[in-house]
Each structure stands twice: as structure tokens, then as C-alpha cells.
Amino acid sequence: MFAAQAAGGSALSFPILTTLVLVPALGGILTILTSNRRPESTKFVALVASTVTAGLSIWLLSSFETADAGFQFVSQHPWIRDWGIGWHVGVDGISLFLVVLTGLLFPLVIAGIDPHHDHKRYLGWMLVLEAGVMGSFISLDLFLFFLFFEIVLVPMYFLIGGWGYDQRVYAATKFFLYTMFGSAFMLVGIVATAVLAKNSLGYVTFDLVQLAEGAEFAASSGRWLFMAFAIAFAVKVPLFPLHTWLPDAHTQAPTGGSVILAGVLLKLGTYGFLRFGLYLFPEASVWVRPLFLTLAVIGILWGAIAATMQKDLKRLVAYSSVAHLGFIVLGTFAFTSQALTGSVMQMVNHGISTGALFLLVGMIYERRQTREISQLTGLQAVAPIFAAAFMVVMLSSIGVPGLNGFVGEFLILIGSFGNARWWVVIGATGVILAALYLLWAYQRVFHGEPDEDNKSFAELRPREGILLLSFIAPIILMGVFPKPMLERIEPSVKALVAHVETNVGRGFEFEKKDIAPVVHSGTNPSETENKDDEGHGG
């Protein structure tokens, strides 16, 4: 039952994960305490805090045991004994890259994008947000997860509401209420999980590992509990009918906020499905599979079609997020290790490429004070480097082979094809639509002759160039050489799939039969992907 923890114990005695949460949190407080008269000291503190976090997350990555499927760097302390709540954190292959992504994205955003006013509070909220996101990804305790999941709302609310565009208050409130609506169900679900698990465990605990490995739920209650969690995650992802907060929040958020929102915040939902849906309620997640596959496919198509029709460039990117996250959910509910690996990878990919797209749109807005596609034309002629950067990022988002987006999407599609054929067939049209709306937008914005307003469009500045380069480098690197990443993700994903299979038993035979040939024919999926990449993209 405690196998996972024992495995983690071997890693490091230094509580690196706890530090990952504490450093940005304390940094945020320190930032607020710095003097108003010396803005550079404020930024310095914020940069130091986020860079230290980034360094720690790199260290985490480098000392991660590649072949180990269990949780590593675990640290566990009791917190509220009366309720069976503890500080239990750890990472496995699924959360590792999300933690690293969080660690790296924040210093970039803090260093690269300046808010127009009130640096101190902006940076303070940013760091608190980082601590919250970090905490959510490493929590192995339901209560702890919920706590961080909710904490994330507050800084994001203030970032959108305080530094956003015209409709910022509306968008921020909508974001807050939608997410809180989801969390309302999740909180009841979390409590009910712990209470119901008492029957089989004999004691009350909110510890994820103990619940997932030891507790047994009646089929019907497991399904209810899963749905309670799923609503929260579906809002966060966002899945089709609950997605309407996202375009508003993205469009109205300041650039830095958008990048973070797309980069890591949305992943809380998809990550939640993996960690707290599949792992905790395998039987129920198999049972609701058709529903979520369908919603994912609707999301893909809906997002793509809506994106095609947008007049606002930022809204377009926002809707493309809905489509991309649909893919991730599709892969998640395929229940094959290939598709799940693809999903995890796609989470990171989407974070990087959509984050970069928002960054670029932000730069366009900064120069032109508009995001209307019809107002922009011929930018390629006046700013070729800018256009080239936009092109690369966009192609990554489309999923062109050789760039990172392809690897994830391909793994998802091929991994789901075996047991979710028709969903994949319909969902795959989303790939084509993605090419359509992004290329069309590119054509309208960058091609043609620049008119009077666009003539003076400034070329990429060195600082912006460095910022973008740090996005583009991993885009290419992960596209060409995804193996190191895949081999770290895969063991944990396989363990998760095995966990689902053993727990579901007879009802899941259909999937088992179909999975087997896919896994065997592909031998090692990561290698297959490598070949494919080099074949297409090289």
C-alpha cells in the first residue's frame, strides 16, 4: 500500500518540493514588503524568487529517477490530525514536467513582460500564483490539492481584474465564479471520498495514495464521486459546455496572465483528471468514458470552428486552446499508455506554444493597440523576424511534424485509435481545422501590403527576441528529440493504466484486448515517434 512512498524515499532527503512551494510564496510576501520608491528592488526580489524556483525545478528534473513509476521526492507530515489531513507531496512522471514547466515559465513571464502599472502588487500576485500552481501539481493529498486549487483563483482573479483590458472585471468575475462552481462539487466530493473510504480503510484520511490503493467504493458511489471531481476539472480544462469563461478570461487578461493561464493553469484540469479521476476512481472513469470522449471531440470541433470565426486574434488563440485541450482529454480517456503519454506531453506542449502565441499577440497589441485581425495586415513585410517567430510557434500549435505539437497529438491519436476509433476519426478533423484557422489568420495578419497604420510596426526587440527564443528552443528540441521526456513520462503512465486495469477487472476486458496489439506492434512508442518525427520533420 505504501510502495509508492517507499520508492520516493530513496531520492533526496532535502524537501525540494516543499521548497518549490515555499520559495515563490515567501518571494511574493517579500515583494509586497519592498519599498515603493525603489521599483527595481521589487523586480529583483521577484526575479530572484522565481529564478531560484526555476533552478530547483531543473535540479528536480535532473535528479529524477527515469525508470521509476512511483512518486519521488516525497515528503509527508501530518497537518490536521483530527481530519486525517497531511502535507503529502511528491512527483511522478505525470506531474514532473508540469512542475518544470511551471518553474520555467514564471521567471520568463516575470522577466519578459512588464505590467503597465503597479509592479509591486502584480509581481506579488504572480509569485503567489506560482506557489499555488506548484502546490497543486505536487499535492498527494486531496485536501491539500483542493486548497492549492482554490488558492490559485485569488491571484489570477486579481491579475485579470487589476491589469487586464476593458472588460476585465467581468472576465475576472466570470473566471472566479465558474471555477468556484466546479470546486463546490469537488469539495463535497473530496469530503465524501474520505468519509466513504472510511468503510474500507477503517480510518479517515485524505491521502491520495492511501485512498487510491486501499479504499474500495461501491460502483454507484464511485461514479458519483468521480462526477463531483469531474465537474471541477471540466470547468478548469475547460470541456465543451463549461468553456465559456475561457475566451473572456484570456482575452481580457494581461499578456503575462494569459501566458500563465494557458501555460499552466488550464493544465490543472487535465492533470486533475489523470491524478484524481483515473487514479482514484478507475471503475467510474471507465464507465463515463464515452461521455468524456464525446465532450472532448465536441470541444475539439467547437473550439476549432469558433476560432475560425473570431475577429480578435487573442480570442482566436483562446478558442484554439479549447480545441487543444479537447485533444488532451481525448487522450486521457483512451486508457492506453500511448495516448496518456501523448496527453501528458501535449499538456506541456500546449503550455509552451499557446503561451508563446499569447506572448506574440500581446506584443502585437502593445505595438498597434488593437488585436482586430482586420486592422492588421502585411506585418511580414515590415517585421520579418517577428513574422518568422510567429510562424514557428503557430506551426507548433498546428502540430507540424518536427515541432513538439506533433509528437503529442500523434501519440494521442494513434493511442486512442484502437479503442476509441470513431471519436478519433472525428477528432482528427480538428487537426485540419487547426491548420485552417491558424494559417488563415497568419495570412490575413502577416501577408499582403502593410497599410498606413501597420507601416510603423516595430521589429522584434532584442529583449523580446530572447524571451521568444526561450519558448522556441524547447518547441524545436522537444519536437526533434522527445525521447528523454517520453521515457520519464511513460513508466508512471503505464503504472496508471495498469492500476486502472487491475481495479476495473472484468468490465474492462474490451480495452485490454484492444490495447495489447497496439502496444506490441509499436514496441516502444517513444521510439516509433522518434522515427516518425525525423521522417516527417527532418
Partner 1 sequence: MFAAETLTGPSIPWFTLSPLLALLIGACVLMLGGSLLPQWPRGLYGIVTALSAATSIVLCFFLWDNLSDGRPETIIGDALAFDHFAVLGTISICVAVLLASLTTSDYLVREGEDGPELFVLYLSAAIGGIVMVAAQDLIVLFLGLETLSLALYVLAASNRRREESQEAGLKYFILGGFSSAFFLYGIALIYGATKHTNLGRIMETLSSQQAFPRNDVLLLAGVGLLLVGLAFKVAAVPFQVWTPDVYQGAPTPVTSFMASAGKTAAFAALLRVSVTALESRVDDWRPVVWVLAVLSLVVGSVLAVTQTNVKRMLAYSSISHAGFILLGVEAASHTGSASAADGIASAMTYLLLYTVLVIGTFTIVGLVAGRGDSASNLTDFRGLGRRRPALALALTVFLLAQAGMPLTSGFVAKFGVIRAAVETSSYAIAIIAMLASVIGAFLYLRIMVSAWMEDAEGQDAAPPVPFLSGLAVTAAVAFTLVVGIVPGWLLDATRQVITLAGR
Q: Is 2 in the site for partner 1 (CB under 8 A)?
A: no
**Residue 77 or 461 having the CB closest to partner 1:** 77
Q: At closest approach, how far in Å is the CB of 181 from partner 1?
A: 5
**Residue 228 or 379 having the CB closest to partner 1:** 228
- In angstroms, the CA 16 to CA 22 distance is 10
- Which one among 159, 187, 197, 284 touches partner 1, defined by CB under 8 A? 187
- Which one among 181, 287, 365, 440 touches partner 1, defined by CB under 8 A? 181
**Residue 37 or 531 having the CB closest to partner 1:** 37
Q: Is 180 in the site for partner 1 (CB under 8 A)?
A: yes
Chain residues 52-81 in contact with partner 1, contact rule CB under 8 A: 79-81
**Residue 143 or 410 having the CB closest to partner 1:** 143
What 3-state DSSP class applies to 372?
Answer: strand
- Which one among 195, 432, 458, 516 touches partner 1, defined by CB under 8 A? 195
- Which one among 2, 22, 111, 150 touches partner 1, defined by CB under 8 A? 150
Contact region with partner 1 (CB under 8 A), list: 65-73, 154-162, 352-360, 517-525: 154-162
Which of 128, 123, 115, 130 lies closest to 168, judged by CA? 115
What 3-state DSSP class applies to 288?
Answer: coil
**Residue 157 or 335 having the CB closest to partner 1:** 157
Contact code string over 196-225 relative to partner 1, x by CB under 8 A: ----------------------------x-
- In angstroms, the CA 453 to CA 458 distance is 11
Q: Which residues are CB-contacts of 131 (< 8 A; sequence separation ≥ 6)?
A: 21, 22, 24, 25, 28, 151
Contact region with partner 1 (CB under 8 A), list: 39-47, 176-184, 418-426, 480-488: 176-184
Whole-number CA gyration radius for the chain: 22
Which of 30, 40, 25, 22 lies closest to 119, judged by CA? 40
Contact region with partner 1 (CB under 8 A), list: 177-185, 342-350, 359-367, 487-495: 177-185
**Residue 44 or 83 having the CB closest to partner 1:** 83
Q: At closest approach, how far in Å is the CB of 174 from partner 1?
A: 10
334-339-343 Cα angle (round to 5): 105
**Residue 144 or 467 having the CB closest to partner 1:** 144
**Residue 143 or 446 having the CB closest to partner 1:** 143
**Amino acid at residue number 525:** P
**Residue 124 or 362 having the CB closest to partner 1:** 124
Q: Is 191 in the site for partner 1 (CB under 8 A)?
A: yes
451-456-459 Cα angle (round to 5): 120
472-434-242 Cα angle (round to 5): 100
- Which one among 14, 44, 83, 422 touches partner 1, defined by CB under 8 A? 83
Q: Is 227 in the site for partner 1 (CB under 8 A)?
A: no
For the purposes of burial, counting CB atoms within 10 Å of the CB of 414, is it exposed (0-12), middle (13-18) or buried (19 or more)? buried
The b/e string for 238-272 (b: 16+ C-beta within 10 A; e otherwise) is bbbebbebbbbbbbbbbbbbbbbbbbbbbbbbbbb
> What backbone phi and psi angles, to 5 degrees, belong to 279?
-70, -40
Instruction: Reply yes or no: is the peptide bond before residue 238 cis, omega within 30 of 0.
Output: yes
Q: Provide the CA 391 distance to its chain's centre, in angstroms.
A: 22
Q: At closest approach, how far in Å is the CB of 315 from partner 1?
A: 22
Q: At closest approach, how far in Å is the CB of 164 from partner 1?
A: 9
- Which one among 71, 122, 137, 158 touches partner 1, defined by CB under 8 A? 158
**Residue 195 or 219 having the CB closest to partner 1:** 195
- Which one among 24, 161, 351, 525 touches partner 1, defined by CB under 8 A? 161
Residue 88, strand partner residues: 76
Contact region with partner 1 (CB under 8 A), list: 89-97, 156-164, 308-316, 419-427: 156-164
**Residue 106 or 148 having the CB closest to partner 1:** 148
- Cα dihedral sign, 400-332-238-279: negative
**Residue 189 or 303 having the CB closest to partner 1:** 189
**Residue 195 or 469 having the CB closest to partner 1:** 195
Q: Is 488 in the site for partner 1 (CB under 8 A)?
A: no
Show the cell assigned to 354. 499557446
Q: Is 437 in the site for partner 1 (CB under 8 A)?
A: no
What 3-state DSSP class applies to 448?
Answer: coil
Count CB-CB contacts under 10 A for residue 520: 8
Q: At closest approach, how far in Å is the CB of 121 from partner 1?
A: 9
Count of residues engaged in binding partner 1, rule: CB under 8 A: 32
- In angstroms, the CA 416 to CA 418 distance is 5
Per the listing, cell 493504466 goes with 497
Pairing of strands 85-91, 72-80: antiparallel
The helix (run of H) or strand (run of E) holding residue 78 is: strand 72-80
- Which one among 18, 19, 173, 308 touches partner 1, defined by CB under 8 A? 173
> What backbone phi and psi angles, to 5 degrees, belong to 482?
-85, -5
- In angstroms, the CA 327 to CA 346 distance is 8
Binding site for partner 1 (CB under 8 A): 79-83, 146-148, 150-151, 153-154, 157-158, 161-162, 168-169, 173, 176-177, 180-181, 183-185, 187-188, 191-192, 195, 224
